[in-house]
Amino acid sequence: MAEKEVKKSIKNVKEQKMEARAEEEFEKDAEKQLAEMSSIVDAEEKAADEKITKERIKDYADQERTYVRESREQRFAREEKEKLDRWVPKTELGREVRAGKIKHIEEIFKSGRKIMEAEIVDLLLPGLKSDLLFIGQAKGKFGGGKRRAWRQTQKKTEEGNVLTFSVMAVVGDGKGHVGLGYGRAAETLPAREKAIRKAKLNIQKIARGCASYDCSCEELHSIPVATDGKCSSVFIKLMPAPQGTGLVAGNEMKRILRLAGIKDVYSKTFGKSRTTINAAKACMEALTKLGELKI
């Protein structure tokens, strides 16, 4: 009897091992099939997105273009539109935006995905405007030149002086979206293009409202709470203001606040506020804190 029980227990153990191996093999096969199916679905979606992109590019190429007399602004707008029509996305997020799966930029902000192509912002925010901050100074007698957008620096080398131009740009739609970018290049126009591109990649949503004690409206003309920002020695504090106050701030901060859609605000600045780069970064830090509020 003892031998039979031992043999029976050994048989049960063997059967259990075989069942466990069968289950492991079944799970492996299921995971393999699932991976194959997901790869097939991803490839089909990618092919469909690329097909849509090619169709749109083909439609643009087939359009009959008539050349008419146009102003400088109209020519720039037309060139930007043509560049956007010829755009072929390189990232997964760009393909989804191009295919129409993502229609609002708020979806990107909520998902926490990083924007790697400036054309994504151009498609989702068509009314975007840009401006340059005066971070440089033109040459003048005794160092008294006028402020300008190009900051010129040079490096001494054996071949001579190597010039570099720096630009700081701000973009916004006047409805709560604003971004700041800094670009450097050997010439002015490439530096400006770099700055505008980086500003679009750094675009963010800020909260607007009306929290002044002297104003009881419900319009989005000011900021909901007082906020502050700091960069190096520059410290900036922004406070809500009633309607009709205007932008009580420096000239360069006004450009940022205006493109962000803020019409009335009080401000206090401390430190070396004439350093425009640090002042602009401090202002953007204050606005970023507004974007983190849960209202």
pLDDT band of residue 172 (cuts 50, 70, 90) is very high
Q: Are 227 and 275 in contact (CB under 8 A)?
A: no
pLDDT band of residue 32 (cuts 50, 70, 90) is confident
Question: What is the CATH number assigned to the segment(s) 129-205?
Answer: 3.30.160.20
Regarding the domain delimited by 227-291, which CATH topology (the fold level of the hierarchy) does it fall under?
Ribosomal Protein S5; domain 2 (3.30.230)
Answer whether residue 1 shows pLDDT above 60. Answer: no
Q: What pLDDT is recorded for position 64?
A: 55
Q: Where is average pLDDT lowest: 60-64, 99-103, 211-215, 268-272?
A: 60-64
Other beta carbons within 10 Å of 248: 15
Q: What pLDDT is recorded for position 115?
A: 92
Answer whether residue 61 shows pLDDT above 80. Answer: no
The domains spanning 129-205 and 227-291 adopt the same CATH topology: no
pTM, two decimal places: 0.74
Q: What pLDDT is recorded for position 283?
A: 94
Question: What's the CA angle centered on 237, arms 197 and 178, to 5 degrees?
Answer: 20
Q: Are 279 and 261 in contact (CB under 8 A)?
A: no
Answer whether residue 68 shows pLDDT above 90. Answer: no
- What angle separates helix 92-99 from helix 2-62, to the nearest 10 degrees? 60
Which value, in Å, is the radius of gyration of the alpha carbons in the chain? 29
Closest to 99 in 3D by CA, of 70, 116, 120: 120
- As a whole number of angstroms, the distance between CA 112 and CA 129 comes to 24
Q: What is the pLDDT of residues 237-248, one digit of tens each?
A: 999 999 889 999
- As a whole number of angstroms, the distance between CA 184 and CA 180 comes to 14
Answer whether residue 41 shows pLDDT above 80. Answer: no
Answer whether residue 188 shows pLDDT above 70. Answer: yes
Domain ranges for the chain, please list them: 11-62+71-124, 129-205, 227-291
Average of per-residue pLDDT across 165-183: 94
